[in-house]
Amino acid sequence: MSGKYPSQKWKVDTNTADEIKRYLIQQGGLEDKDIKSENEVWRVKFSDATLTYYKTGTLFCTASRDTSIKKVWEFIASRAESRFIPPTKDFLIGLDEVGKGEILGHTILVGAIFPKTIFNEIEWRLGVSDTKKRRSTAY
């Protein structure tokens, strides 16, 4: 896959976070001693991305254009708590709506269907999204 890899986040316990930090440094990551917030435990710069572990147990990675980040994400995902329940059906269907309805304006309904074989790839392709943030129609 070419192009930009969107930001990602995982839930990990302290021991797992330490293991991930060691892995990142072994793979060429550099620990950033400039902690930006009292909620941060550590940060590691890896290529063009920064991975930050927070006291809440969240590990966050900024977006990247480097394809090597996928290998790092696979390592993290193999150790992190799953945010989703693996599908049992061959296909997954999702629906969502936005709008105020007939009285106050238009309503838009969107649907998506995809095979379970790409279930684990979807978050890597879409990244962390704030669904309550306003965006232009072009987005």
Residue spans of the domains in the chain: they are 8-79, 91-126
Q: Which of 33, 29, 81 is nearest to 57 (CA)?
A: 81
Question: 94 versus 29: which is more confidently predicted?
Answer: 29
Question: 5 versus 52: which is more confidently predicted?
Answer: 52
Q: Which of 89, 66, 83 is nearest to 122 (CA)?
A: 83
Q: What does the block give as tokens for 126?
A: 């879409």
Mean pLDDT of the chain: 84
Cα 103 to Cα 19, 107, 110: the distances in Å are 54, 10, 20
Residue 37 CA to residue 57 CA, distance in Å, equals 15
pLDDT in tens, 35-92: 878 999 999 999 999 999 999 999 999 989 998 898 998 899 889 877 677 788 999 8
CB under 8 Å to 97, separation ≥6 — which residues?
A: 107, 108, 109, 110
pLDDT at 98: 77
pLDDT at 129: 61
**From 27-36, 58-67, 98-107, the region with the lowest mean pLDDT:** 98-107
Q: Based on the number of CB atoms within 10 Å of its own CB, is 60 exposed (0-12), middle (13-18) or buried (19 or more)?
A: middle
**From 22-31, 37-46, 92-101, the region with the lowest mean pLDDT:** 92-101
pLDDT at 138: 66
pLDDT at 92: 87
Q: How confident is the model at residue 105 (pLDDT cuts 50, 70, 90)?
A: confident
pLDDT at 6: 85
CATH architecture of 8-79: 2-Layer Sandwich (3.30)
pLDDT at 2: 42
